[in-house]
Amino acid sequence: MGGCSVLGRIWGVWRRRPGVRAVPKAPGFGTEAGHRLRPRGSSKRSRPLGGQPFPGLLQLENLSREELVDVLRAAVVDQKGKPGELTLFSVLPELSQSLGLGDQELQVVQASGKETSGLVLLSSCPQTASRLQKFFIHSRRAQRPTATYCAVTDGIPATSEGKIQAALKLEHVDGVDLVIPVKSPSRKDFQEGVKRTLSHFRVVAMGSGCALVQLQPLTVFPSQLQVHMVLQLCPVLGDHTYSARVGTVLGQRFLLPAESTKPQRQVLDEALLRRLCLTPSQAAQLPLHLHLHCLHLPGMRPGEAPMKLLAPLPSYFSRTLQCLGLHQQ
């Protein structure tokens, strides 16, 4: 499979550990498997500032285009084939040149939301990109998960594992695109953009009123995993868009109407703030604790065994787990 590159999200920078092998079993978050990625040595421009409460978090507003290209080039963990707003997409031409790909254009094959850490899959080969996209589409139709995320949630799901199903639509509200659940959607609703969504979840660890949850989306929709966890009354830690939809009265959680609940900074109770060693103002800047940990890919060539790519957790994510006593299995 030529012309394929994999990199960590800009929140955490990773590089390849030599060697590729087939992995017959689904590993836990911390086990060795497939292409295992490990932290790369930090440069001066990517080193967290002293006293920063979220180590490993890179802030785009502090980077120039050249510096972002440097970060992305350093984050490439595997490269097969020939060696306006500041976004990953906007610097792909510079990144392609920096990787020595000449006139070959990089395109994003697989990526998650802009606030999510973890893996991003790029390709400079149209045939490879097409093959991978067909693989992902076929896997979704067969309801075989190809991506595994890990999340820290404020709250613990009522069951240790299960499925989350919801009809969702995207609405433009006050200048912001928001995902809204739709109850009992009609045929007309589906014709107008409502989509049935499905995710698997499994609670890996619990502590301090929070949980470490493994999430596997079986459909693709913006902010699907965040909204699904809100529907479980357990918003993802650092979700400053949808967590306001979960209200509390006398210690009991309930859903507020999504249509009339505006996004706001996530509010954490005092006990949780103490466990996280954060002030309320720091908590208002808490990054989203949703990480694309693993991607399943087909073999490099027809007949070869499938492979997995793993990205370790960003340091701020690991710090949160330590503070909450959530131990990875």
- Under DSSP, the state recorded for 236 is B
Q: What is the pLDDT of residue 25?
A: 30
Q: Which of 4-8, 145-149, 310-314 has the lowest mean pLDDT?
A: 4-8
297 pLDDT exceeds 70? yes
Q: What is the pLDDT of residue 41?
A: 39
Residue 219 CB-density burial (10 A; 0-12 exposed, 13-18 middle, 19+ buried)? middle
Q: What is the pLDDT of residue 82?
A: 43
Tens digit of each residue's pLDDT (9 = 90 or more) over 205-240? 999 999 999 999 999 999 999 999 999 999 999 999
Tens digit of each residue's pLDDT (9 = 90 or more) over 23-32? 223 333 333 3
Mean pLDDT score, 103-127: 85
Tens digit of each residue's pLDDT (9 = 90 or more) over 43-93? 434 344 345 677 767 666 677 777 766 666 665 544 444 445 667 777 788
Ordered by start, the domain boundaries in the chain are 150-283
Residues 6+ apart with CB under 8 A from 53: 277, 278, 282, 285, 316
- Give bridge partners of residue 37 from the DSSP assignment: 16
Q: What is the pLDDT of residue 48?
A: 40
Q: Which of 12-26, 38-52, 281-295 has the lowest mean pLDDT?
A: 12-26
| Average pLDDT across the chain, whole number | 80
Tens digit of each residue's pLDDT (9 = 90 or more) over 165-211? 999 999 988 888 999 999 999 999 999 999 999 999 999 999 999 99
Of residues 288 and 76, more confidence is placed in 288
Mean pLDDT score, 308-326: 93
SS (H, E, C) 82-119: CCCCCCCHHHHHHHHHHCCCCCCCCEEEECCCCCCEEE
Give the integer Cα–Cα distance in Å for 209 and 255. Answer: 18
Q: With cut-offs at 50, 70 and 90, classify the pLDDT of residue 99.
A: confident
**Residue position matching structure tokens 């079993």:** 25
Q: Structure pTM?
A: 0.76
Q: What is the pLDDT of residue 304?
A: 84
Backbone phi, then psi, for 92, in 5-degree steps? -60, -40
Task: Name the helix (H) or strand (E) containing 131.
Answer: helix 126-141
Q: What is the pLDDT of residue 21?
A: 24
